[in-house]
Structure 1
Amino acid sequence: MEISCIWLLVLLAGTKGQQKSKESQVPDQPSSLQLHPLPSGISLNWSPPLNPKIFIRGFLLSYGLGSPYAHTVTLDSTQNSYKILNLEPNSHYVVSLKAFNNAGPGIPLYGSATTKAAAPSSPPKDLTVISRQGKFRNAELSWQPPVEANGKITGYTIFYSPRKNAPISEWIPQAVGAERLSQPIPESLLDSGSFFRIQARNSKGPGPLSESIYYRSPKEVPIGEKTPNSNPEVLLLILGISGGVSAVAAAVGAWICSKKHQERKKKNQGKRTLSQTEPRPPDLWIHHEEMELKNVEKTSENSKATAPNPQEIQNEPKNSEMEPGNPNIPQPVPEPEHSGIGRRGKLNA
């Protein structure tokens, strides 16, 4: 019994050493890899490396759109199949598969596959009504392809209804080719008004419906009652002409104002030069008051001077005393004919 136990321990130790020796190098690449596309995924099957002496601890599966490095999944060493789900329909994916052990990952094996098409998962976008200016009877629907087509679009279906909330079975369908992104609205629907919806389809079926839009053609004015304002083109022409005339008038007015300003400036400069060369005339109003004040002062002085003094009246000689020949009054001395010479002679004498 003891010998058997010792022999068992020796076997276990030998297998352990053998297992360590098998992980001294990385594994070889898997021997095969098959990919099977699904509508929204890829199914994979593979075979392990051909060298059984190298120990394998598991597999690393990487995948992505056009590149295998977007997502990575770690799988058990005993697993040889896997399904990648939730992929985009009608899209090309690249897959990488490699075995690994404690020494590291081995050489990868690559593969690629394109997922199968599916019905469009989004409706056509930008559904609008386009009408020419002044020609509301020529309205048409316009749209763009869906963002998530999930395959090649094979056509569109337009639905008409006078009621927005009516069941889709009561809407009137109209098929349109995949090459078209617009469709004229039937003239019978222009006056009454209608709601419009659209959906895209491919080889796997139709996609979801778009939101509804409403359009009704406005009533046109009869030809005999049309005015220039009823035509947008004429209105734009009138606005353009009036705007041009206003701009020209504003420019002319600005030029006239600037010219007058320059002339006024020149006149002011001429006046300044004259005022610097000629003396400034007196202010008549101020000098008139000063002259009146001076006249008043003079009249008062004259009145004082002419008024007789009582003492002078008493001392004034009488008329008899003022008569000529009176010895009390000094008589004037007669001047010689040549006053200058006589004076000199007298002075010399």
Structure 2
Amino acid sequence: MKMKAAVMCHTGQPLEILDVELAPPKAGEVLVKVEATGICHSDLNALEDETTPTPTILGHEGAGIVVEVGPNVKSVKPGDRVALSWVPYCGTCEFCVTGSVNLCESAFGPMFAGTLLDGTSRLSVEGETLYHYSILSTFAEYTVVPEMSCIKIPDIMPFAQASLIGCGVATGYGAAVRAAKVTPGSTVAVFGIGGVGVNAIQGARIAGASKIIACDVKEQNLELAKTFGATHVINVAKVAADEALKELTGGYGVHFAIDCSGNTQAAAAAWKGTRKGGTVVVVGAFNPQKELTLPAGGFHRMGKTLKGSFYGDVNPFHDFPIIAQLYLEGKFMLDELVLGKISLEEINKAFDSFHDCSCVNVGRSVITF
């Protein structure tokens, strides 16, 4: 079938709106009409990364309607409304059978190669193969994805809000609820108040934390953090974060700290500002050239836990519906994360805004079709 898509033809160059061909779904695959797709900073990273295969169709936060299913698909049918997960899992590997489906490696070889799970592409333009991005390629009117990427959502769930669940929302919520396992009455610090951090705040609020402390360098983000549930804020450019956290917690430090910044210095401050027996969860991706340095003195006596978390430790089939229901009950803020709805043709303006430090980055521009 023919469709319009925003194609990354060259690294670092504006996306081009092209008519492309999409082949039908094969066994275990689903054709989805994309109704909405968020534009994430990770898409910008891919656009600027020379290792991204080109030409490719970016986009990994999507929601839409099932149009057609391939052989052996059982969990969805045409007409179903779905949110898309860019981390499909196999269900049979060591990680899946022990409950850590977010750690399944089955998708990552194809993902890095720019294909679907069988190692081939469903995309082409004028006979030339196009690559997939993060299995989903949602910057297009339609997409073919694995069945395991399709999570049904309630019929009354708006698509723009549903599209955001698949990446930053699930990661932030999961970091607090699944990875950290925030407990009622506890104190929580969140470092890095962007699209993931505000949802870690929401997760901590929903889990019943009594004190949620937002830590960032941007005053605008700190003010926004309050609307999502932060009870206190710390501008870490002005004060030492670890000392400020101790002052807010009777000298002990917080029970839980969640680092969404990807900054090793922030993670070190989170560790120092966490009390004995506390837990630090890192969901931000560190620069591999950097080192994380923690105090060695008395390390064993601190009883702390340092945990990396990929995708917030969520199981999409379990957690996406929970987030959707919380939103419909007015307990999870998604409307406020939709910074604006734009057309596919306006996509490059949204990418340009990532380079404007004055633009709000707590949320997403969302393409609607």
Work out which structure has the larger RCO, using CA pairs closer than 8 Å and 6 or more positions apart in sequence.
2
Q: Would you say same fold, with TM above 0.5?
A: no
TM-score range (shorter-chain normalised) is under 0.3
TM-score by length of 1: 0.20
Select the structure of larger CA radius of gyration: 1
